[in-house]
Amino acid sequence: MLKKERFRRFIEYFTEHYPEPQTELNFSNPFELLTAVILSAQCTDKRINQITPALFARFAEPESLAAASVDEVFSYIRSVSYPNNKAKHLVGMAKAIMERFGGEIPTTLADLQSLPGVGRKTAHVILSVVYNEPTMAVDTHVFRVSHRLGLAPLTATTPLAVEKSLMAYIPKVHVPKAHHWLILHGRYICLARSPKCSICPLLDFCKYPQS
């Protein structure tokens, strides 16, 4: 099957069955989403959603987080992965937002990536979810599913290479949703170790069973 046809099948299926996919992180404003995404690195959304209510109640805006001590922030996030580094990143992120962006969440990739704890993936999530920009955040699920479905070639061995492969074929209007489609498919069906191939609706053009 030609790659163009694979993308067409992928987009048609999810457009019909999951027309409005959403992030599973709980948030009520851009600051909360940025905080949650930084925390979610190498951690489940379920775990993040368990600890953010208390965190957001204490630090409702960048100003209060910027004024906090790293130790206090750590006390709220101790159950997530790498809590020491993430506590430092959160305080640094809030200080940068207050000092350089007037308390507002940046709206460009370069500005977002200039914040402590914010890499390309995190910045793309913010641009996609908050600002509906056609950006493709490549996490472990997107990386895995893209290769298994043949949407990215085996030679695409980095997140950036996979991102470029996806962006070359997915129409811009679908990119923000496609990010969620790939994540959710990888989270619930195309699992890393024991994929649920027997219930996968995309199995007929998946390359994984052949490998």
Looking at domain 3-22+135-210, which CATH architecture does it have?
Orthogonal Bundle (1.10)
Our CA dihedral for 180, 183, 187, 193, rounded to 10 degrees, sits at 160
Assigned architecture for domain 30-129: Orthogonal Bundle (1.10)
How deeply is 148 buried, as exposed, middle or buried, from its count of CB atoms within 10 A (0-12, 13-18, 19+)? buried
Q: Would you kindly state where each structural domain of the chain is located, as residue ranges?
A: 3-22+135-210, 30-129
- Give dist(CA 84, CA 75) in Å, integer: 10
**And the tokens for 144?**
């895995």
One pLDDT digit (tens) per residue for the chain, 211 residues: 788 999 999 999 999 999 999 999 999 999 999 999 999 998 999 999 999 999 999 999 999 999 999 999 999 999 999 999 999 999 999 999 999 999 999 999 999 999 999 999 999 999 999 999 999 999 999 999 999 999 999 999 999 999 999 999 999 999 999 999 999 999 999 999 999 999 999 999 898 865 5
Q: Are 169 and 7 in contact (CB under 8 A)?
A: yes
Name, in order, each residue with C-beta under 8 angstroms of 211's C-beta and a sequence gap of 6 or more. Answer: none
User: Measuring CA to CA, which residue among 126, 142, 138, 124 is closest to residue 187?
Assistant: 142
Give pLDDT, residue 194.
Answer: 92
The tokens describing 9, both together, are: 């099948």
Strands (E), the chain: none
CA distances from 132 to 66, 87, 122, 127, 175 (A): 27, 28, 14, 6, 9
The number of beta carbons lying within 10 Å of the beta carbon of residue 81 is 14
Q: Active-site positions?
A: 121, 139
First CA to last CA across the chain, in angstroms? 16
- pLDDT value of position 210: 52
3-state class (DSSP) for residue 188: helix
In contact, 72 and 97? CB cutoff 8 Å: no
DSSP state for residue 107 in the 8-state scheme? -
Burial of 102 from C-beta contacts in 10 A (0-12 / 13-18 / 19+): exposed
Distance (Å, rounded) from C-alpha 126 to C-alpha 33? 7
